Amino acid sequence: MPVLDAALEGIGALFLWPAIGYLLLGISIGIVVGILPGLGGLSAVAMLLPFSFLLDAYSAMAFLMGVYAVTTTADTIASVLLGVPGTSGSQATILDGYPMARKGEAGRALGAAYAVSMAGGVAGGVLVIASLPLVRELVLSVGSPEFFMLGVFGLLLVGALSGGSPLRGIVVVLFALALAMVGTSPQEGLPRYTFGEAYLLDGIKIVPVVLGLFALPELLDLFVHRTSISRAALESARDMKEGVLDAVRHWWLALRSICIGVYVGMIPGLGATIVDWVAYGHAVQSEKNPERFGSGDVRGVIAPEAANNALKGGALVPTLAIGVPGNAPMALFLVALTTHGISPGPDIMSNRLDVLFALVGALVIANVVAAGLLLVATPYLARIAQIRGTIIVAVVVVAALMGAWMSTQSMGDWIVLLAFGVVGYVMKRWGWPRAPIALGLVLGPLLERYLHLSINVYGFEWLMRPVVLVIFALAVWALYTQFRRSHRRVRR
Amino acid sequence: MRAGTRADLVVSIFLAAVFVFLAVEAGAWDYRSALFPQAIGVAGLAAVGVLLVVLAVPPRVPDRASGSAVADGPREPAGAPPPAGSRDHVRAFRLLAWIAAVIGLSWLLGQMVAMPLFMLGFLRFEAGLRWLTASFAALLTGGFLYVVFDRVLTVTWLDGAVYRWAATAP
């Protein structure tokens, strides 16, 4: 499919009914989820994923991207007004955003955050398009052995970079691959590891697993800790013009932070949680008067907020190009894509470029619409965060149960949800990384398929292909550096 | 032994058992089917073995590192659990019990009854809303679920054991 035609078709489809309706619905849900502290884009995408299966490909992508793209814009409200992160990507924003709110400058902080969030989201989308020619050529020139090795590389990176201990991360990755093997053997079509349960014949479903691993532990936290916005903070969130001007004044910092966001997003495993800290750290190290950071400096809001939105565009690149999700929400996008019969890698790069453009278009539109909406309506929307935590919990429990039920509409979905909820809570409590499980479940079947394809076509000589060797060497090097870094940390 | 290390030990032993089962079970299959599961089983066992050695021979300096990165989700410190009192755990398990209860109730009475009942009970006893307000929210939930899931999405509902028994009872 010619690139220009695909762009026109994909982006054009977003402006047609019903895709545009679903995009706006997704943006609205994303804003509400972002404002509510504790619930992030991942939980929201996991809950809404089963509903997207009922939509056409364009509407599904618009809906999910609408939700996911804007959570890190709306989450600034909780970070600035409450001093608690709205999502995991806005933790660093609190360092200067909350002191600004206490000084009566909440509007300024929010205005700056919205402006750079929009710029970050748009720049991330533009970068995906700009990198397309190179990535496309690269993807179309490699075969199953390289894809297998890239998948292994991505999973090892995710495992090694998740949490404090690379070893525990790798163990979790292997456990996730073990879980991914439950179901039917792709070679013989015989049941394996199903314990005679008909529910498990199609494998463990990703939606209840992700809801259990990520949504339930956040709900438990929300249930345990209660927070509310003070009226004074709400009043100070009105005037945002000065903040937008701040973003323009500090455009160079915003641009550098956007580049950091895109770069971090492109590396599988380096997710939303660190990008804001990396950008914040860069701002403190590179800007004049670093002593002002931490006491209410608008630059401390600009850097993390620009980066956490730009990350999403960056994460799309490995997800779509080689089928290795940049982070856990991207693993869910892969599920949505494959459910609609679209495979990442060569398929999307050659046959379904229109869907790729639709995704990027939705990312850009969602960021622009959300920033505009929040600039106008923040004082009213912020009241959502005043809703009592227990009421939110009740609503989200019903939503999570119904979301899980939509997976196969059987009790097995709920049992998996509850079981992985307990697993997620324990893993979170004891510092075991959870993200590799979602990624491993999605990538497991793909890796097994690529491995058998490689053996069928090349025998075991595929192991000696130059690109495979290079990727293998990179994986070993990445693991070695991560282990060394972890060892040094322990010694210190 | 620290509580964190003890938990790591329990999880590691459980995972070792999983990997052994994975490899042993695959031993009965033909070579092609067994290749991937056995590779993962052996690799997993090796990784858990190293982890157990690390746990058995702890580093000289206590691990206070907070970790470098998390792919997604909140920052998860290595080893040391986040500060949480036992009352927090009780509260957390209370919510898990509520969820288990709504699942059990759905099996017994069907979702269309269980979900509004959960809303009513949870909002009344956990959120402290008045009976009238909680009842209104429960009715609203039932109506929303019926319209969206039954009429629009035509989802298959769980009938409930009581309904199935009543339908087949002589």
B-chain residue closest to A275, CA distance: B69
Q: Residue range A302-323: average pLDDT?
A: 88
The answer to whether residue A492 scores a pLDDT higher than 70 is no
Locate the chain B residue with the closest alpha carbon to A445: B36
Residue A481 lies in domain = 3-491
pLDDT at A122: 93
**Quick one: pLDDT at residue A467?**
87
Q: Does B30 touch chain A (CB under 8 A)?
A: yes
Predicted pLDDT of residue A369: 94
How high does pLDDT run on average in chain A? 85
**Residue B147 counted as domain residue:** yes
The verdict on residue B114 lying in a domain is yes
Residue-wise burial string across A96-113, b where 16 or more C-beta atoms lie within 10 A, e elsewhere: bbbbbbbeebbbbbbbbb
Mutate to test the interface with B, among A94, A144, A175 (most CBs of B within 10 A): A175
A401–B71 C-beta distance less than 8 A: no
State the pLDDT at residue A272: 61
* CA-based max dimension of chain B: 72
Model pTM score: 0.79
3-class secondary structure per residue, chain A: CCHHHHHHHHHHHHCCCCHHHHHHHHHHHHHHHHHCCCCCHHHHHHHHHHHHCCCCHHHHHHHHHHHHHHHHHHCHHHHHHHCCCCCHHHCCHHHHHHHHHHCCCHHHHHHHHHHHHHHHHHHHHHHHHHHHHHHHHHHHCCCHHHHHHHHHHHHHHHHHHCECCHHHHHHHHHHHHHHHCCEECCCCCCEECCCCCHHHHHCCCHHHHHHHHHHHHHHHHHHHCCCCCCHHHHHCCCCCHHHHHHHHHCHHHHHHHHHHHHHHHHCCCCCHHHHHHHHHHHHHHHCCCHHHCCCCCCHHHHHHHHHHHHHHHHHHHHHHHHCCCCCHHHHHHHHHHHHCCCCCCHHHHHCCHHHHHHHHHHHHHHHHHHHHHHHHHHHHHHHHHHCCHHHHHHHHHHHHHHHHHHHHCCHHHHHHHHHHHHHHHHHHHCCCCCHHHHHHHHHHHHHHHHHHHHHHHHHHHHHHCHHHHHHHHHHHHHHHHHHHHHHHHHHC
Cβ contacts (< 8 Å) between A390 and chain B: which residues? 122-123, 126-128
Q: Please state, for a pLDDT cut of 90, what percent of chain A lies above it.
A: 23
pLDDT of residue A235: 65
Check if B158 contacts A (Cβ < 8 Å).
yes
B8 chain-A contacts, CB cut-off 8 A: 168, 430
pLDDT of the residue at B65: 45
Q: Are residues B163 and B100 in the same domain?
A: yes
Domain for residue B48, yes or no? yes
pLDDT confidence bin for A269, thresholds 50/70/90: low
Among A270, A329, A430, the residue with its CB nearest the CB of B4 is: A430
A384-388, A441-445, A478-482: range with lowest mean pLDDT: A384-388
- Residue A111 pLDDT: 92
Test B25 with A429 for CB contact under 8 angstroms. Answer: no
pLDDT of residue A89 exceeding 80: no
* Nearest-CB residue to B15 (from A175, A394, A448): A175
Residues B95 and B157 in one domain: yes
- The Cα B75–Cα A99 span in angstroms is 22
What distances in angstroms separate CA A45 from CA A153, A211, A319, A369, A430, one per listed residue?
A: 25, 9, 16, 19, 25
Q: Which pLDDT belongs to residue B80?
A: 41
Tell me how many domains chain B contains. 2
pLDDT on residue A478: 83
Averages of pLDDT over runs of 10 residues in chain B (170 residues) are 76 92 90 89 94 80 45 40 65 91 93 94 93 95 89 82 83
- Whether the CB of B90 is below 8 Å from some CB of chain A: the reply is no
- B167 CA to chain A: closest CA distance, Å? 20
Report how many domains make up chain A: 1
Give CA separation, B50 vs A14, A223, A354, B67, B80, in Å: 51, 37, 47, 19, 20
pLDDT at A179: 94
pLDDT at residue number B165: 87
Residue from the list B33, B35, B37 with its beta carbon closest to the beta carbon of A188: B33
Instruction: Report the chain B residue with the minimal C-alpha distance to residue A214.
Output: B73
The answer to whether residue B78 sits within a structural domain is: no
Mean per-residue pLDDT for A129-142? Answer: 79
Determine the pLDDT at residue A306. Answer: 92
pLDDT in tens, A226-268: 655 556 666 666 678 888 999 999 999 999 999 988 888 887 7
Compute the average pLDDT of residues A49-72. 89
B141 touches chain A (CB under 8 A): yes
Distance from CA of B68 to the nearest CA of A (A): 6
Question: Are A429 and B149 within 8 A, CB to CB?
Answer: no
Query: Would residue B19 count as lying in a domain?
Result: yes
Are the Cβ atoms of A394 and B119 closer than 8 angstroms? yes
What CA–CA distances, in Å, run from B95 to A82, A171, A210, A390, B126? 24, 29, 18, 10, 9
Q: Give me the pLDDT at residue A13, please.
A: 87
Same domain, B40 and B108: no
Inside any domain, residue B93: yes
Out of B47, B94, B123, the one facing A171 most closely (by C-beta) is: B47
B159 and B107 housed in the same domain: yes
B97 & B158 share domain: yes
Which tens digit of pLDDT belongs to each residue from A64-79?
999 999 888 888 888 8
Which pLDDT score is estimated for A251?
93
Q: Which chain A residue is nearest to residue B36, measuring alpha carbons?
A: A448
- Label residue A138 by pLDDT band (50, 70, 90): confident
Domain span holding position B15: 3-56
* Whether B71 and A490 lie within 8 Å, measured CB to CB: no
**Closest chain A CA to residue B13:** A171
**Closest CA relative to residue A348, chosen from A48, A145, A61:** A61
Chain A: nearest CA to B86, how far in angstroms?
A: 11
Interface mutation target, options B70, B75, B148, B157, chain A, most CBs of A under 10 Å = B70
Quote the pLDDT of residue A271.
61
Instruction: Note whether A367 and A380 are within 8 A (CB).
Output: no
Residues A459-470: tens digit of each pLDDT: 888 899 998 999
